[in-house]
Structure 1
Amino acid sequence: MTDATGGAKGPDELRRQIERTRSELGNTVEELAGKADVKGRARARAADLRDKAGAMTVQLRSSAAQAGHTVHDRAAHAGPRPVRTVVQAGMRHPKPVLAAGAAGAVVAVGVLRWRHVHGHR
């Protein structure tokens, strides 16, 4: 119970107010410490970007494999000899094709991120 001026009426009420104020102050200090931890926030952001890049790499590999099979099927049935040869070479050596695709994706993500940070849309 408090009096009309907002002060404590007794020692028990005063203790409760002190405990509530301590709790609020502790929460505020934790929030400020989190905001001041620039290094920790940067690490978390970097981890998030790594996760997104990894997911994109998996998705690109899957898409590249699917596209490769589609192109291979079409080239095997209707394509001219030079196209068929290139597709067959890509199917025999898929790692360089996937690496090039992943590198292209990383560059694309970097360009998009740079444009976002620098206000270019």
Structure 2
Amino acid sequence: MTDAYAQCEEGGTMTDGGRATGAKGPDELRRQVEEARGRLAGTVGELAERTDVKGRAQARAADLRDKAGALTVQLRSSAAQAGHAVQDRAGRTGLRRPRPVVIAGAAAGAVVAVGVLRRRGRR
């Protein structure tokens, strides 16, 4: 029998990492037991979080969805600003309908669409 175990049998408690600390009465013993329970509950909660793979994966997926949504908003805003800038430049040059700009934009869009369709076809 170890000294710590013997002290525990004599009325002490095991609360300080395996070291026996003697309680100085029933109230002190109750306080020590409550402290130990609190520490154990926190430890169990941390272990449960670490082993919850599904929950962690869902949280990560939600974070990625939020980032993708924010990026989409940012890209739309940038595209709108670029469109307005092109219209402003075309307006300053005196063109009512900026045909070269529209044709270049349509061509760029077609190239992107063809690239996307080819890439999907390979999968």
- TM normalised by structure 2 equals 0.60
- CA deviation profile, 1:46-73 (whole Å, cap 9, x unmatched): 1011001101101110110010111232
Q: In the alignment, residue 33 of structure 2 is paired with which amino acid?
A: I
- Which segments of 5 or more consecutive residues in structure 2 lack a partner in the other structure? 1-11, 13-19, 117-123
Retained in 2: the 8 A contact 1:72–1:84? no
Counterpart in 2 of 1:19? 34
Q: Which has the higher strand share?
A: 2
Larger radius of gyration: 2
- Once residues 89 and 58 of structure 2 are traced to their aligned partners in structure 1, the CA distance between those partners, rounded to angstroms, is 46
8 Å CA contact 1:8–1:14 kept in 2: the answer is yes
2:44 alignment partner in structure 1: 29
Offset, 1:10: 1.3
Identical residues among aligned pairs (%): 62
Q: Which has the higher helix share?
A: 1
Residue 83 of structure 1: aligned partner = 100
Counterpart code for 1:84? V
What CA RMSD, in Å, does the superposition of the two structures yield over aligned residues?
Answer: 3.0
Superposition pairs of residues 1-121 of structure 1, within 5 angstroms:
6-76=21-91, 77=93, 83-86=100-103
Higher relative contact order (CA 8 A, sep 6+): 1
Unaligned runs of 5+ in 1: 91-96, 105-121
